[in-house]
Chains A and B, each alone.
Chain A
Amino acid sequence: MTLTESELQQGFEATIAHHDRIEPRDWMPEGYRKTLVRQVAQHAHSEIIGMQPEGAWITRAPSLRRKAILLAKVQDEAGHGLYLYSACETLGVSRTELTEMLIEGRQKYSSIFNYPTLSYADVGTIGWLVDGAAICNQVPLCRTSFGPYGRAMIRICKEESFHQRQGYELLMTMMRGTDEQRAMVQESVDRFWWPALMMFGPPDDESPNSAQSMAWGIKRNTNDELRQRFVDMSMPQAEALGVTFPDPDLRWNEERGHYDFGTPDWDEFMQVVKGDGPCNRQRIAHRKRAHEDGAWVREAASAYARATEERERDRAKVERAPAPSLRGADGRVETR
């Protein structure tokens, strides 16, 4: 028997209402699927594009230990991209299609990666503030309604929290170093603070997709809630580190039990989102070049796999053919 669309819809809504997971083979509304593809792909792309700003410092890392830490971290980002593209593939879109949508500008990635990395302190600041903001966004996603995405996020969040600690530890170490190193840390924090706050997206009253995503259980907290949580968490960390944030309005509000803070430059945010950030073109051009330069390798691997499979199949046919038990009722040998 087949269920009607409205029964399917009811089942879907009941699953969401119980905070249960939707799995790839479950029925889901087309809008839900599309929203997820957009969000998971954007997340996967962010991991892959995010390899560039930090990866740029691997060859200039100031110590061999820091080089190893950074290389391992950027490698983890490739791994995160891999899980997320896999989660997205369960929704029926291939990694190749997603990559092409990225390089054609039809899908986005986190705008933070359109800012340049200008000193080694940026490696630490990205770990502390950017990965920190990403964790604020991502921890609630561990219980997002779509199973493969939620499970990928659990693993990713664990690794991201390591990265955040490593970033913070780098900054701590630099703060114990020379005056120049301390100035380098402060300058880096000054540059990344506002872009990090913008990572939570536009204010709630200007966030077009939030309400539906919240209703579907894809998103669990509003942009402004998460931003506030991030500011509240970051302040004691900044004090322990001995740096300040470039916001004259930043102060504890006893009444609210939260820090008050200023307004990010939303005009700059829109410029970056629309493609005119300091590094948008560079990041996409880099990804496009790597993808296109690698095309002949991927083709070779496919051609080799096809040829190997054919050889295996031919060999299997020969080996299997004489067995009478494999003959079907019509006397033909069953081959697959």
Chain B
Amino acid sequence: MSHSAPDPNDAHGSVFDGLLGSDDSQWAFGTDFEDPLAGVDTTMPEGVAPAALATYCVMLADDALVLSHRVSEWCSNAPDLEEDIALANIALDLLGQARLLLARAAAADPSVVPALPEGSPVPPEDALAFFREAGGFRNVRLSEVDNGDFAHVVCRILLFSTVRLALLERLRESRDRVLAAVAAKGVKELAYHRDYAGRWFLTLAQGTDESRRRLVAALDDLWPLYPELLATHAVEDEVAAAGVGVRPVDVSAEVEVVLEQVLAMSGVERPERRALAGVRGRTGRDGLHTEALGRMLAEMQVTARAHPMGQW
């Protein structure tokens, strides 16, 4: 029932060993992420316009970055500690995907990176995240709308991850070896996100009257944003034709099968809501957003923009 513990003073000392040293191996997760692209061929694929590849990467990145922000807003606000931890995992996964994709966009076409003062140490991924205006963001509007209750975040993650998982599964075959590597990593993450959201969708649907009512309301609220996830932009057509990207319309059938199954198992009717209109045909992918994105970016970018020469 017992084990003897070491002298507390020794244990104490050891905790602080290396605080002043330079042994980077002791630093925790996150300070220096393992390079997920180690060993991956980073040369640009032939036969695709660099600008199109960069824009495509920005689209995939912004979907993840903006939703990661919304999911991270749940931190310390979730219904239970387990959910706080799970939602933080999802936000971290999406953030990780966004970073790799923004870096790839910058490598494909440096002109997509906003200009910063001469000598600024801000890396391209941060220049793209923090120094772009809302109109330069290419994410779908589903990623950006304000959070609602827990049913809302469950529905949003379900719709988002079902589509993104289907896209990334195909993107693993991309001729761009970097996109293929990002997709291979992302597939495992998205499979978990979809599973998490699917299990909660079922639980809320069959839990209590209140949970079911809230779930149905949340799904109804988000449904008009769902068609935009499956719409195909001209840039997506272009990169798909070059064997580098995937057209959302090509995964729509399998996405529908998955969603219909979740709805059927949960006993929830498919909402009868029409798609949210754009403005003269422009939607999130074209940089036309809801009012929510500007407010989100004001918060997200405030510290970075105050210190364009700062080191973090």
Contacts and interface: CB of A to CB of B under 8 A. Distances in A.
Given A19-B4, A20-B1, A74-B88, A59 B72 contact: yes
A300 B208 contact: yes
B266 to A, nearest CB: 11
Interface string B1-36: 111111010011001101110000011111101000
Given A64-B95, A71-B88, A293-B149, A233 B11 contact: no
B311 interface: yes
A166 B309 contact: no
B203 A304 contact: yes
Contact of B85 (A26, A82, A165): A82
A212 interface: no
Contact of A165 (B19, B89, B208, B309): B19
A81 B85 CA distance: 11
A42 to B, nearest CB: 17
Q: Considering the complex of A and B, which 10 residue pairs feature the smallest CB-CB distances, nearest first? A: A294-B79, A300-B207, A20-B2, A143-B5, A162-B28, A300-B211, A177-B311, A297-B79, A75-B88, A69-B30
A161 B15 CA distance: 6
A177 B69 contact: no
Given A52-B76, A62-B307, A237-B19, A139 B300 contact: no
A285 interface: no
Contacts of A180: 307, 310
Contact of A68 (B4, B95, B208): B95
B190 interface: no
A72 B63 CA distance: 21
A299 interface: yes
A36 interface: no
Given A293-B149, A303-B208, 17 more contacts: A26-B1, A59-B72, A59-B299, A60-B302, A64-B126, A147-B2, A157-B15, A159-B28, A166-B28, A177-B121, A177-B310, A177-B311, A177-B312, A178-B309, A290-B78, A304-B202, A304-B203
Given A58-B75, A177-B309, A296-B214, A168 B19 contact: yes
B286 interface: no
B311 A181 contact: yes
A22 B33 CA distance: 40
Interface of B: 1-6, 8, 11-12, 15-16, 18-20, 26-31, 33, 65, 69, 72-73, 75-85, 88-89, 91-92, 95-96, 98-99, 102, 121-123, 125-126, 129-130, 149-150, 202-204, 206-208, 210-211, 214, 299-300, 302-304, 307, 309-312
A69 B129 CA distance: 16
Nearest to B73: A59
Residue picked from B20, B80, B122, most chain A C-beta under 10 Å:
B80
B28 A163 contact: yes
A136 interface: yes
Most buried by B among A57, A69, A85, A164: A69
A221 B11 CA distance: 14
Interface of A: 15, 18-21, 23, 26, 48, 51-52, 55, 57-69, 71-75, 78-79, 81-82, 85, 120, 135-136, 139-140, 142-143, 147, 150, 157, 159, 161-166, 168-170, 173-174, 176-178, 180-181, 220-221, 229, 233, 236-237, 240, 286, 289-290, 293-301, 303-304, 307
Contacts of B89: 75
Contacts of B130: 62-63
B197 to A, nearest CB: 13
A143 B30 contact: no
A37 B88 CA distance: 28
Majority SS of interface residues in chain A?
Answer: helix
Contact of B8 (A18, A174, A220, A300): A220
A177 B307 contact: yes
A299 B312 CA distance: 43
Nearest to A63: B312
A117 B304 CA distance: 17
Given A139-B8, A143-B5, A304-B203, A71 B31 contact: no
Given A19-B4, A72-B29, A181-B310, A51 B300 contact: no
A298 to B, nearest CB: 6
A120 B303 CA distance: 8
Nearest to B95: A68
B5 A304 contact: no
B81 A294 contact: no
B1 A147 contact: yes
A181 B77 CA distance: 30
A48 B89 CA distance: 17
B31 A69 contact: yes
A118 to B, nearest CB: 12
B307 A68 contact: no
